[in-house]
Every structure is written in C-alpha cells, then in structure tokens.
Structure 1
C-alpha cells in the first residue's frame, strides 16, 4: 500500500467512524484525523429486516462528510467496511449500491470471521500478550476469539450486540430483571453451542470496542485512577459486576451523568456489559483487560503492511515509531547512550541483579530520553517525561510506562519523585529504587558521550573493589568533558549502586576483558 495517508471508515451497528492514518517523512505512523457519528443502524432495521430509506440517507450524509475530511487530509486511499447491521439487512445490496452511487465508496461487507480476524490483529499489534480470549461487543454482533501463542485459534461471531439487545429488551434505557434473565439465557445458550468456549480456563478476557472502553473509563473515574489511558487497563470481575449493578439501577437521565460514560452510549452500555459478563463466566476467564486498539487498527495494519501485518515485537515497533515522531533527538548520540547504558547495566546486574524487566525499561528509556527536545531543549527531561506518559508506547503496562518516563527524565531523586507524584499510587518502594538506580545509570551513560561525538567506539567495563572502571579503547579525543561530567555524578552514583564510576585511561591501549 503506497501513499502517505490512509482513511479507514468503519460502518458499525452503533456508530460510524473515520480514522486517517499518516506516514510521516521519517517513516513514523500516527493518527492525523478522526471522526465519529452515532448511527444506531441495528435499532433502525424495520420489521421486514430492512434498513429504511431515511436511515440510508443519513448514512450517506455521514459518509459524504467523512470523504470530505479525507479530501482535506489529502488521503491517497480510503478503505470503507461495514459490519453486522448492513451484513444482516435484507436490503444490503440496495444499501451498498446507493452508497456507491452517492459517495463513490465501494464498501467491503465484512463477515463475522473477518471482524474477529481484524479485531485480533489490532489487539495483538498493541498488547504484549501471548494467550487469552478476545471479545468485541458491537451494536449488532459480538465476536469472541481464543488465541494461543499470539495466533488466532478459534473465533465466533454471535448475531447479537448492545444496540440490537437494547432494542429487544431495553425499556426506556433500563433493563428489568426478567429481561436481563432472558438476555443472559440467549447469550449462555449461544456460548454452549461453541464447544471450545470454556475449555481454556484461567486466561484473561481482552475487550476491544466501545462497550469495554466505556467500562474502563467509568471504572477509572470511580476509582480516581491517575493514569490517563484505558489501553492495557486490567479490571477484576468483581469490579465489573459492581459497576454493572450500579448502572442498571440508575434511571437513564442519571446514568447519563456517570463520570466516564458518554451520553450517546448511556442506554446501550447496560445490555453490552450484560453480554460481557455472561461470556466472561462461560469462558472461565480470570480477569478483564481493556485494549484501546481494535478493528480499525487491524484494518490499517492489513492495508499498510499487506505482506506482514502482524508485528513480531510490539514494544520495538512502538518505540521505533515514537522515536521517529520526534526526529529532533540526535540519533547517533541516542544510539551511543543506549549501547553504553546496556553494557554498564549488564556488568552491574551481574553483582546486583535487578528484575529481568529492568533491562527492558532501561533499554526503552535510553532510546527516548531526548524526545522532549522536540518541545524545548532546556527542559527536555521534563518534556520527555510528559511525552512518554502520554504516548502510545505499546507493550508496557501503565506502571512500566511511568517508570520508563521517570528513568528517561532522571536528574535527581527529588526531581524524580516530583515527576511521579501524581502517579505514586501505581508504584511501590522497590519501583522507586529501580527508577533511581537506572536513572543514575542513564545519566552516567549520557555523560560518557557529553560531547555528542561518539568518541568512545568501544568501552570496557570492570568492577574493581568499590570502583566501576570505565575504560575506553582507543578513544577519539581527550574525553576531558566526559571525565569532568563523570566526576560530578560519581558521588550520587556511589550512594545508589555502591560503586564509584571512574573514566580510566590507564590502559586504554590494551583491551581488557569485560566482566
């Protein structure tokens, strides 16, 4: 797929959405524009199973609006897909013909299996997870899948969703006890007909789509969760049940005021979560995990990278992408600091082992520590912290993202505590110790290329008594600036690691063995 901007239009049963993805000059991908309009197509299907003319007119109006946005964005390719509402409509051929005639768009009618497959691709490319179940509760269908070792094993598309069930069982936005029982019986029966459901107890249930995202936002608001993302957010089944009963008891006007819940989803969220809870029990899942990516992201990857849409390493791709979005960071200096920091870490970790994930955090932080320079060089550490915390850094948990940001922006223990103050409930004392140690190590590695000339092509690192000997092999230049910087950091580094770093020239001509 060539071209710099791709528009993905998703005609869902509850809403119609547009996302415009851009490829920047540096090869990074990002969302350049997006739009959403409520449609409630499942609700508007008449007694003959057809979508009436007025609903088709409204849909055409939305699609014309979206194609104009794509034109403004100089989009080279638009891929438009439709899901359950149009797939199940008896007049689907007429709908697609009218849309094509009025907008010029050729709509792909996705099967339930297609939906599950693209939803899985969007999820697996944005979460570091090997095994689990995936659920996408749409307006008119619900897709449930099992994946093992990052490969889709089973999937099914059920012919019900939050909008169609709200139309069938909801009364003025509420779900009475008898209606809830009837709804749950239908979902449970559908699950029983799929023999693989329930055979893999103990896996997480990963949710994509509007229903679970709304659930995540409400949960974060209720518990005053400090991190501003629902992507990669875990919730226990007890908390979901609690929120469900609380929502169901509220009349619609009061439910609309629930923090975190958008007004246009206030009525359909209850039947949506009702479906979610039944399938959670049927699959014998352990907990819920919310994923911010889904169908549209899967469609983007399949369109942009048709030969290899599935990523091998989610964090690596995300990290490369984030670095490319901030090209002001001096690339060779960052590569040098990254290499040196990991070399020093491996020697220190031999005698003072940290958790294996600590190396991943240092590797990530040492590639991102200068991205804040794209905002302001003098305050780049503070801006790097903000950008890391507020970026799509997939493959890390919220806690790990905060730790990475704190390591990347580390200047002192006091400054680090200041940066993480609003997130401190997500961290414990041992996390702070890791931040201080890795932050000071990154500072030391940065000092070893203070001139940003990459004068140290090879560095031998040794521990001798309480000394951390840093021996450059045939360095280019005197390294006077680097030596001074290392000396200034030495005492603070010793407090944290127990070793005094020393830039040692005594044997630079003879390569010595690295520990």
Structure 2
C-alpha cells in the first residue's frame, strides 16, 4: 500500500479530506485533515433529488482546494468516495464525469451498505469493542452496521438524513411540537424496514451528529479528559438532554453546549439518533472519531488480513514505536523488560492482591517507557506522557489511556503525581493501586537500564522484596534505595557488584 494515502469523503452536508502516512506494515497516523461544509445536497430534496448549482459550485471549489493540498503533501494515492447526496441525485453521475474531466479526480459513488460497511470496519478495528451497532447519520441517510465477535454481520442504510429532514419538516415554519410529531412518524415508518436482528445494548456513534452530542454531554458533566474517541455514556442518564434538543428553537440551542456550526442540523440529527437508539434497544453509546474515511483506508491496509488487525497488534502502539524509536529497539531486550514487569507484578501479588487485573496496561507502559528520550533525555518521562496522551488513539478505553500515560509520567522518586491523579481520579484506579503499579513500572525500568540483560529474579516474603541478579546492579541500587514504596517493606539487592575476593586497589 502507498506510504501516503489521501481519502476524500463527499457527504450531503460536508466534504472531508484526510491524509494517512504509513510507518510500517500495521503502523499509520493522520498527517492532514481538512473539512468544508459543501452542503452539496442543498435544495435537492425539493427538486426531485437533482443537485443544484449552489451546492455544485461549493463542491467543485472544495475538491479543487483538496487536490492542491494532496499535491503539497506529495501523496502517493488518492481515493474519493461520495455518499447519499450523489447516489440519490439523477444528475449525480453527470457531476462525477464533469469533476473527472475538469479536475482529473475520480469519484466513486458508494451505496448505503458500502458506506455502513466502511464505518463498521473503522469501528471494530479502532475502538475498544468487539460487538455493537454503529450508527452514522449523514445528510441524506443513516447507515448502520451490526458487529459481533469482532466481525461485521450485517449492514443497512435508512433513508433518514439531517438535510432530508430539515427540508421536509424543520424549514416549513411549523411549531416545534408539529415538527417533532410529523418527523417522528416519518422516522418510525422508515425504521420498520430495519431488519429485526438489528438489536444491541451498545451503539457506536459515528459522524457529525453523534460527535456533537458526545461533546455536549462531556461539557455538561465536566468530563476531565479532552478526547472524544471512545467516550462512553449511558442513554438513560442523559435522556432528558437528548430529548430536549429536537424540541428546542434554533435560538435556544446555545444552552446545550453545542458548537454553533452544528446548529443548522443538530435538531434533525438528534431526533433521528434518539429514535434509532430506542428502536434497537441501546443502553450505552460509545463515541467514534473515526468513520467512512478510516474504513476506506483500512479496507486497503487490511485487505490481506480479513479486514482485522492481528490480535497482538495495536496500530497506535506500532505507530508510536515506529516514530518515536526507543533507544532499546532490539526485540529480545524489549521482551526481557516486559518479562521483568510481569514477574514482579506476580511476585508482589501478596501485597497487591488484585489478580493482576492491570497487567495489560502496565506492559503497554513498559513497552513505551523509552519513547520520551527520542525528544531529549531531560524530563523524558514527561515527554512520554504527552506523546501517549495524544497518540494512544485507537483500540483503548479512556481509562486505559490514562493509566498507561500516568505510569509513563510518574517515573521517579515519587510514585504519584498528585495534581495529575486528582484531575483524572474518576477515570483512574484507586490511589493504592496506582502506587503499586507505579512502583513496579519504575523498578522495572531502573533494573533494566542498569542490568545489561542480567538474569534477574524476585522473591517477596516477610515484608521484604529480594532482587537477585547474576550481573552487577550497582547503578540501580542508589535509585532503588531512594524510591518511594506503596507500603513499608525492605528491598534487598543481591548481585555480583562486590570486588573480587583477595583483590585490592593496589594503592
């Protein structure tokens, strides 16, 4: 696959450009993102679906600008897809041919099921889920994917979209009550076509409407982490908030903490979203910052892997290690460090007693422990924290991201960064657990850095941790001695650091 791939997604409401750069077989990251509210379908639903000049002009100028960006980034491959506005338009193919002639850009019009499938591919690979139903509400359609056991089971596209509802109901000068009654009846009639097996307690919110609502809820609850992807909320807990938005006037939308650039279609989108959630039996929504564009990219990247990353691969981890190359790059040495952490976690279970429930996060942190040194060795643990907070985007819950990042940040004499812990306390394990994990992480790093691949074993009895090494650990001893402990206990290091017997300095 090309090193740099550009994806253009032309929707009824917006057109977006993203450019991904591959760092290795499974590593990639986003290097450019642009968006324009082209509203290519504006006025079409009252004109038998025909694209109108105002939307055509905006789309042409946007695509022309996108191509300039693609050229600037020296992209190797460009894929452009268009969704409901073009597939529904009688003159959609004519527009595609005209753009290809004028700009040299080939646009592939995809049907609703293909659109839903792309969203599903992105969700099941880049979110910490294995099943659920993705919902992508666009301007002209709502596309849904049913997933189970990490695979796509079925897709369906509903003729329900924000622009469609806006022009059919919300722009008619009716009262809020009349709008909701008529629009609800319209939505429910369309939902009758949805296959009966589209039922699940978890919904994956893809697209502008779902993202806007998630951001609004995050603001309402003063959520401590500024990261939308994988944010999860209870439908029941926020039902009043979700129900109130479609009944609001456009002027009063500011009370919901929503972005102004979404005011024009958020009432329509929320009404569709609410009705779908109720129909499929949703209890929890997980927010997705990925969708069709990422799905198109992964469809190419994972075509030889049954459209799934291997079970032992996380693309964010791979990308971080590719770009922020740790000083210890030999896989054998990395595995040694991971084994040290895992063994120490097991040995200390007599004190921790948590069944190693955080081992996965601990080992990810250990694996990433050297990434901050790529920038500078000074305050490298702080750099590692910021890298992890920004780059652990795919496949992790917010709780996992924060725990991994916090362990990277807390390296040093003190096991707990109090301001950091207090700010994110609601998303982190209990304080005592953090202290133990930070101790294990820090001790592992100290021993590995000073051991030169020594054979190290641990024993924990009678409030004493014994560390035995077949090679010197002299450089680690002073740091270990100064290291804070989660509870009072002794640390004894038995190594080969003494002077050879019967030898003197010769002075």
Answer whether TM exceeds 0.5 for this pair: yes
Aligned counterparts of 2:178 and 2:235: Cα–Cα separation in 1: 23
Query: Are 2:491 and 1:501 aligned?
Result: yes
1:146 deviates by: 1.6
* Structure-1 residue corresponding to 2:270: 273
1:391 deviates by: 2.4
Aligned counterparts of 2:299 and 2:135: Cα–Cα separation in 1: 20
Query: Are 2:13 and 2:39, in contact at CA under 8 Å, matched by a contact in 1?
Result: yes
Aligned counterparts of 1:175 and 1:276: Cα–Cα separation in 2: 21
Query: Are 2:219 and 1:218 aligned?
Result: no
Change (3 A) 1:65 1:117: same
SS in structure 1 of the partner of residue 448 of structure 2: coil
Aligned counterparts of 2:143 and 2:26: Cα–Cα separation in 1: 33
Aligned counterparts of 2:19 and 2:33: Cα–Cα separation in 1: 6
SS in structure 1 of the partner of residue 314 of structure 2: helix
* Structure-2 residue corresponding to 1:481: 475
Aligned counterparts of 1:65 and 1:335: Cα–Cα separation in 2: 47
Aligned counterparts of 1:106 and 1:230: Cα–Cα separation in 2: 32
1:174 deviates by: 8.4
Query: Are 1:12 and 1:138, in contact at CA under 8 Å, matched by a contact in 2?
Result: yes
Aligned counterparts of 2:497 and 2:369: Cα–Cα separation in 1: 31
* Structure-2 residue corresponding to 1:235: 233
* Structure-1 residue corresponding to 2:119: 119
SS in structure 1 of the partner of residue 126 of structure 2: coil
Query: Are 2:349 and 2:355, in contact at CA under 8 Å, matched by a contact in 1?
Result: no
1:431 deviates by: 2.3
Summarize deviations over 1:203-226 as a string: whole Å, max 9, x none.
211111110000011111122211
Query: Are 2:463 and 1:469 aligned?
Result: no
SS in structure 1 of the partner of residue 146 of structure 2: strand
Query: Are 2:84 and 1:84 aligned?
Result: yes
SS in structure 1 of the partner of residue 453 of structure 2: coil
* Structure-2 residue corresponding to 1:417: 418
**1:31-110 correspondence runs (5 A):** 31-45=30-44, 47-110=47-110
SS in structure 2 of the partner of residue 78 of structure 1: strand
Query: Are 1:211 and 1:269, in contact at CA under 8 Å, matched by a contact in 2?
Result: yes
* Structure-2 residue corresponding to 1:182: 182
* Structure-1 residue corresponding to 2:12: 13
Aligned counterparts of 2:18 and 2:468: Cα–Cα separation in 1: 51
**1:386-405 correspondence runs (5 A):** 386-405=386-405
Aligned counterparts of 1:175 and 1:382: Cα–Cα separation in 2: 55
Summarize deviations over 1:462-484 as a string: whole Å, max 9, x none.
23433322223x43xx3321333
* Structure-2 residue corresponding to 1:323: 321
1:283 deviates by: 0.7
SS in structure 2 of the partner of residue 39 of structure 1: coil
Change (3 A) 1:449 1:164: same
Instruction: State how many pairs are aligned.
Output: 493
1:415 deviates by: 4.5
1:92 deviates by: 1.7
TM-score, with normalisation over the residues of structure 1?
0.88
SS in structure 1 of the partner of residue 155 of structure 2: strand
SS in structure 1 of the partner of residue 430 of structure 2: helix
Summarize deviations over 1:45-65 as a string: whole Å, max 9, x none.
151321124432321211111
Residues 365-374 or 115-124, more deviating: 365-374
**1:243-254 correspondence runs (5 A):** 243-254=241-252
Query: Are 2:128 and 2:230, in contact at CA under 8 Å, matched by a contact in 1?
Result: no
Change (3 A) 1:173 1:431: farther
Aligned counterparts of 1:337 and 1:318: Cα–Cα separation in 2: 20
Aligned counterparts of 2:463 and 2:79: Cα–Cα separation in 1: 62
Any unmatched runs of 5+ in structure 2?
499-507
SS in structure 1 of the partner of residue 449 of structure 2: coil
SS in structure 2 of the partner of residue 220 of structure 1: helix
SS in structure 1 of the partner of residue 476 of structure 2: helix
**1:332-351 correspondence runs (5 A):** 332=330, 335-349=335-349
Change (3 A) 1:25 1:205: closer
SS in structure 2 of the partner of residue 238 of structure 1: coil
Query: Are 1:402 and 1:420, in contact at CA under 8 Å, matched by a contact in 2?
Result: no
Aligned counterparts of 1:48 and 1:197: Cα–Cα separation in 2: 33
Query: Are 1:135 and 1:206, in contact at CA under 8 Å, matched by a contact in 2?
Result: yes
* Structure-1 residue corresponding to 2:299: 302
Query: Are 2:209 and 1:208 aligned?
Result: no
Aligned counterparts of 2:250 and 2:474: Cα–Cα separation in 1: 70
Aligned counterparts of 1:335 and 1:479: Cα–Cα separation in 2: 19
Query: Are 1:315 and 1:395, in contact at CA under 8 Å, matched by a contact in 2?
Result: no
Residues 186-195 or 84-93, more deviating: 186-195
Query: Are 1:139 and 1:161, in contact at CA under 8 Å, matched by a contact in 2?
Result: yes
SS in structure 2 of the partner of residue 43 of structure 1: coil
* Structure-1 residue corresponding to 2:453: 455
Any unmatched runs of 5+ in structure 1?
509-515
* Structure-2 residue corresponding to 1:513: none
Aligned counterparts of 2:378 and 2:172: Cα–Cα separation in 1: 57
Query: Are 1:27 and 1:324, in contact at CA under 8 Å, matched by a contact in 2?
Result: no
Query: Are 1:212 and 1:290, in contact at CA under 8 Å, matched by a contact in 2?
Result: yes
